A and B are shown apart, each in its own frame.
Chain A
Amino acid sequence: MLMQLGLTRGLIYQAAGTVLGMVVAMVWRLLAGMELWDQEVVFVVGGLVGGFSFMWGVGAIDDWLEWCRGKATPLVHGPPRDKPAWTRYFSTDYNHKVIGIQYSVTSLLMLMIGGSFALIFRAELAQADLQFLGIGMYNKLIGLHGWAVIAAILLGVGGMANYLVPLMIGAEDMAFPRLNAFAFWINVPGALLLLASAFLGGFDAGWTAYPPLSTQGSVGYQFLFLAIYFVGLSSILGSLNLLVTILTMRPKGMDLFRIPIFCWAVLATSLIQLTATQAIGTAFLMGLSERALGMGFFDPEGGGNPILFQHIFWFYSHPAVYVFVLPGLGIISELLPVFSRKPLFGYRWIALSSLAIALVGFLVWGHHMFTSGYSQYLRIPFMIATLLVAVPTGVKFFSWVATMWGGRLRFPTPMLFTLGAISVFLLGGLTGPILATVASDLYLHDTYFVVGHFHATLFGGFVFPFCAAIYFWFPKITGRMYNETLGKLHFYIMTPAFWLMSIGQMTVGTMGMRRRIVDYDPTLGGGLIEARHLETTIAAFLIGLSILIMIYNLVTSAEIGVRAPANPWRSRSPEWQIPSPVPEHSFAAPLQVVGEPYDYGLEEEYVVMDESQAGHTQAH
């Protein structure tokens, strides 16, 4: 049975491919008259070959290989005929709904793995001095936590976008279904390489992997660099697919200002992913080749400059923050009108503010480097550009509260998480300008205040909206309702706990706590710093507990939950006009747009199905 799963084959192929790659590298070195063993080169070749072997084993490139042989392969939709239906979730499947679930479940898994790393070192930080965690282990866990949750967030973003975009625009599937499957599965060898790096000495420079520390550390860095290469490739291919889908596959009457607002967020996100991801690829490729081939990009001895890495790294990694949060902000805009029973206030402004954030996001990377030692005067344009981000972000906040104003608000779990998301993202957003202003950043940079700030942005911009989205679309995905009591319990534990944790992090930061230290001076903050750290640790564990409650809720409700009607939220969006769970071919007939997406309070529909064309499906 296990061998019938693409995943199992992929894992075996990856293990075999890694060994094969290592052997090839060693033989090649021997033939070239070099020493047999050079761990940098051998592990890089092994990791690379292993990763692509996984793709072969899982079956993500089968069709393309057939095409190379000149055979046409039809796009098969539907569960596998000779195997149980559930196996499709563990194998290559071209249905965007399956791929969306694959992304989302992998995201939750990585989120829990990454979160567990945090709980380990959070426990260590509950008290000053060293307790149970060694210094070296601490320095490795922080970077691993960072990248595991970043991978989780990228997966979650991919999950929401892949599941929802085709349904929201009434498309049969994504524009390139095979590419879609490839873009998901390439994350798996990426995630495995990332976690495997821990067994090769890990990486001890934090997630930012600044050289020269990163070019001197253990060979685990090479697996990190390769892992991000695979995950980044997924970003680029996935965003391309989403852009083409949104721009070319909309039904009759759905002009760009009539698509569900989440699709605007995905559009802006995809533009960033398609154009910025290459930068981190470049930065990490330079790091990889400096280590493996002795090139001197960042080494002053070889004519290089360590600050160069930071520029290239942040040219991706700042816009990437908007990749993490824009889809979540889209979810907020999507859900508020449904539960306020009111049109979205200022649709065009919200839509264009996403594009504005994406654009300005490319001009602000220098604010991560105010103390790095680049030209002093350049700090001022970077400060101004960063402060400008507040304007389109403000437009979103004001439009949200104006959407609620005058509504008839109801508060099931998805709405609660939407409101939680607004409040938490507000905390993250408002603590931005203080860091964007150079002089105050000279104090706050590399302190725990920054840690508090970006955890608030990422929880408010991703984790809370992701939870809202999961609860909201759970009935559509599974055909059953989640347990409302457990959902609310999750919310009422996680939200106060998060506020306590995030503000606690900011508090110790202003007291003078540096980032990325295993041990701190207990006399800081007038001796109160330890108490604040203890509270922060307790809060972090409560967040972990609440996530477990959600997982329990989702797993049990999928089995025993009450049968969900087609449209339990009385939403106007297309995906709610079809049965729950969504049938294999989502729409029985092509959609036609006849109204506005968020005209709650009006009788007329947003979309109708063109029954005269029932049974007609788009060809790929």
Chain B
Amino acid sequence: MRSNYRRHFLYAGILVVVFTLVIQWILDLSLPLPAIQGSAQSAAIDNLIGQHVWLIAGAGALVLVIMGYSIVAFRARPGEEDEEGDYFHGHYGLEIAWTVIPLIVVAIYGVIGTQVLAQVTAPQDNEMTVEVEGLQWSWRFAYPGHGEFQTTEMVVPVNQPLLLSMSAVDVLHSFWVVEWRVKQDLVPGIVTELRVTPTEVGEFQLRCAELCGLRHAYMLADVRVVLQEDFDAWINEQLE
């Protein structure tokens, strides 16, 4: 029986490779990220998600294929109803391998994860501060350094690193623009910060991502990313 395993391992091994590609393809279709990468942070996060999809595909194929292969190859065929399986109950080499190798993979993903986090949260020179205030169920924005005014839509210049300084009036809220990817809660009594650099001009929507009461689903605000000169003109308009 054992000599046959070599052939089984070969077939299963080939299938694992094939199914890794198939599952990766299916997942790519099943997990569509928003087409617009609207911030400097978006690409890094999308890449990280892509790397994780490969991990899911590879590890998923490994387990599913060996399981599926066993179901087909090692099923009790007619006439084998009373037969028992091969007798073995462990293998130190394998057990150590499938403890140590995942440990290494985990370490690699831990390092990658830390690097990407450092990258997407890194402070930039010439950051522009926008004060964001969340309250049931609307948003307010202020632009310290540009004058004393508050708005209900957020207008920011493109390619300008932003430091969002955020506070909540009543309950928890969360700042999320899908195209910008990153997200941060607003907490009463605490100022939380989020760094993001919009890179695409356009109109987006800010959505509250933390359940905040009755009209949570509709706690939205318009976000406009504009060219620097349009932003300057908009500021002047606000000051008039």
**B94 CB contacts on chain A under 8 angstroms:** 398, 402
B109 interface neighbour in A343, A387, A446, Cβ under 8 Å? A387
Picked from A344, A388, A394, A442, the residue with its CB within 8 Å of the CB of B182 is: A442
B155-210 residues with Cβ-Cβ distance < 8 A to A are 170-172, 174, 176, 178, 181-185, 187-190, 192, 205, 207-210
Indicate if the CB atoms of B86 and A407 lie closer than 8 Å.
yes
A343 near B75: Cβ-Cβ < 8 Å: no
By the criterion of a CB under 8 Å from any partner CB, how many residues of chain A are at the interface?
Answer: 98
- Residues of chain A in range 410-424 having any CB-CB distance to chain B below 8 Å: 410-411, 419, 422-423
Q: Which residues of B contact A399 (CB under 8 A)?
A: 95
Instruction: Select one of A216, A419, A438 contacting B67, CB under 8 A.
Output: A419
| A408 (CB) vs chain B CBs: closest residue | B76
Residues 434-449 of A, flagged 1 when their CB comes within 8 A of B and 0 if not, give 1011111011111101
- B233: which A residues are within 8 A, CB to CB? none
Q: How far is the CA of A507 from the CA of B29 in the complex (A)?
A: 9
B213 touches A433 (CB 8 A): no
Residue from the set B30, B70, B109, B174 with the largest chain A CB neighbour count within 10 Å:
B70
Chain A residues with CB under 8 Å of B56's CB are 430-431, 434
What separation, in Å, do the CA atoms of A503 and B196 have in the docked complex?
A: 30
How many chain B residues touch A (Cβ–Cβ < 8 Å)?
86
Asked if A405 CB lies within 8 Å of chain B CBs, one says yes
Nearest Cβ distance between residue B198 and chain A, in whole angstroms? 15
Is B85 in contact with A307, judged by CB distance below 8 angstroms?
A: no
* Complex contacts, B212 vs chain A, CB 8 Å: 213
Q: Is the CB of B75 within 8 A of A135?
A: no
| Chain B minimum-CB-distance residue to A356 | B99
| Contact residues in B for A344 (Cβ distance below 8 Å) | 89
Question: B14: CB under 8 A from chain A?
Answer: no
A-B contacts, CB under 8 A, total? 276
A346 touches B217 (CB 8 A): no
- The 0/1 profile, CB within 8 Å of B marked 1, for residues 474-499 of chain A is 00000000000000000000000000
Bound CA span A372–B171, Å = 13
On whether the beta carbons of B90 and A524 are closer than 8 Å, the reply is no
Q: Which residues of chain B are within 8 angstroms of A406 by Cβ–Cβ distance?
A: 1, 5, 70, 74, 85-86, 88
Contact B209 A306 (CB under 8 A): no
Per-position binary interface string of chain A over residues 313-352, scored 1 when its CB falls under 8 Å from any chain B CB and 0 otherwise: 0000000000000000000000000001111111101000
Judge whether A440 and B185 touch: CB under 8 Å: no
- A601 pairs with B34, CB closer than 8 A: no
A305 and B189 alpha carbons, distance in the complex (Å): 7
Asked if B63 lies at the interface with its beta carbon under 8 angstroms from chain A, I say: yes
Of A105-113, A182-190, A227-235, A514-522, the one with at least 4 CB within 8 A of chain B: A514-522
- Chain B, residue nearest A379 (CB): B117
Interface residues of A in 386-407 (CB under 8 A from B): 387-388, 390-391, 394-395, 397-402, 404-407
Q: Does A176 contact B (CB under 8 A)?
A: no
- Contact partners of B171 in chain A: CB under 8 A: 212-213, 216
- Do the beta carbons of A404 and B178 come within 8 Å of each other? no
Docked Cα-Cα span, A447 to B183, in Å, equals: 11
B114 near A383: Cβ-Cβ < 8 Å: yes
Structural contact, A394 and B217, CB atoms closer than 8 A:
no
The yes or no answer to A579 lying at the interface (CB within 8 A) is: no
In the complex, chain B residues whose CB is within 8 Å of the CB of A443: 45, 49, 181-183
User: Does B211 interact with chain A (Cβ within 8 Å)?
Assistant: yes
**CA of A258 to CA of B45 in the docked complex: distance in angstroms?**
47
* A526 close to B (CB within 8 Å): yes
* CB <8 Å contact, B170 and A430: no
Point out the residue from A341, A436, A514, A528 that lies within 8 Å of B207, measured CB to CB.
Answer: A514
Q: Which residue of A lies closest to B55 (CB)?
A: A433
Residues of B contacting A304 with CB < 8 Å? 189
Taken together as a complex, chains A and B put the C-alpha atoms of A341 and B86 apart, in Å, by: 8
Q: Does A79 contact B (CB under 8 A)?
A: no
Beta-carbon contacts of B68-101 to A below 8 Å, as 1s and 0s? 0011001110001101111111110011001100
Is A300 in the interface zone, CB < 8 Å from B? yes
Report chain B residues within 8 Å CB of A445.
183, 209
Interface string of A292-319 (1 = CB under 8 A from B): 0000000011001111000000000000
A19: interface (CB < 8 Å): no
In whole Å, how far is B78's beta carbon from the nearest beta carbon of chain A? 11
Q: Contacts A406-B5, A423-B64 known; A446 to B52 CB distance under 8 Å?
A: no
Identify which of B84, B120, B174, B178 contacts A408 (C-beta below 8 A): B84
Known contacts A135-B217, A442-B45; is-contact A307 B187 (Cβ 8 Å): yes
Q: Are B174 and A601 in contact (CB under 8 A)?
A: no
Main secondary structure of the interface of A (DSSP, over half): helix
Residues of A within 8 A of B81 (CB): 410
B34/A512 in contact, CB under 8 A? yes
Q: Is the CB of A442 within 8 A of B70?
A: no
- B13 adjacent to chain A (CB < 8 Å): no
| A310 smallest CB distance to B (angstroms) | 9
Q: Which of B28-83 contact A (CB under 8 A)?
A: 30-35, 44-45, 48-49, 52-53, 55-56, 59-60, 63-64, 66-67, 70-71, 74-76, 80-81, 83
* Contact (Cβ within 8 A) A514 B189: no
Contact across chains for A401 and B67 when beta carbons are under 8 A apart:
yes
What residue of chain B has the Cβ atom nearest to residue A401's Cβ? Answer: B66
Q: Which residues of B contact A398 (CB under 8 A)?
A: 63, 94, 98
Candidates B1, B8, B185; contact of A373 at CB < 8 Å: B185
* Distance to closest chain B CB from A491 (angstroms): 14
The answer to whether B5 and A439 have CB atoms under 8 Å apart is no
Structural contact, B113 and A383, CB atoms closer than 8 A: yes
Rounded to whole Å, the gap between the CB of B203 and the closest CB of chain A is 12
- Known A-B contacts A205-B211, A210-B172, A439-B117; the reply to A405 vs B87 at CB < 8 A is no
Whether the pair B32, A204 counts as a contact (CB closer than 8 A) is no
Chain A residues with CB under 8 A of B135:
none
Q: Is B140 an interface residue (CB 8 A)?
A: no
Q: Pick the contact of A440: B35, B45, B119, B214 (CB < 8 A).
A: B45
Q: A306 vs B184: C-alpha distance in the bound complex, in angstroms?
A: 15
Say whether B188 contacts A306, CB under 8 Å: yes
* A511 contacts B by Cβ under 8 Å: yes
A373 touches B192 (CB 8 A): yes
Q: A376 at the A/B interface (Cβ < 8 Å)?
A: yes
B22 lies within 8 A of chain A by Cβ: no
User: How does the 8 Å CB contact mask read for A523-545 relative to B, with 1 for contact and 0 for none?
Assistant: 01110100000000000000000
B147 in contact (CB, < 8 A): no
Is A409 in contact with B70, judged by CB distance below 8 angstroms? yes
- State whether B86 touches A440 (Cβ < 8 A): no
Contact A408 B74 (CB under 8 A): yes
A residues near B59, Cβ cutoff 8 Å = 394, 430
CB distance from B39 to the nearest CB of A (A): 11
Contact assessment for B188 and A437 in the assembled complex, using a CB-CB cutoff below 8 Å: no
Taken residue by residue from 22 to 49, chain A's Cβ proximity to chain B (1 for < 8 Å, 0 otherwise) reads as: 0000000000000000000000000000
Q: Check A201 for interface membership: any CB of B closer than 8 A.
A: no
**B174 touching A446 by the CB < 8 A rule?**
yes
A–B Cβ pairs within 8 angstroms, 22 of them: A139-B213, A213-B172, A306-B188, A306-B189, A307-B190, A346-B90, A395-B95, A401-B66, A404-B67, A404-B70, A404-B71, A411-B71, A437-B52, A437-B116, A440-B48, A443-B181, A446-B210, A449-B31, A510-B49, A511-B32, A514-B207, A518-B217
8 closest A-B pairs by beta carbon, nearest first, are: A300-B189, A342-B85, A407-B85, A343-B89, A517-B217, A512-B178, A437-B113, A601-B87
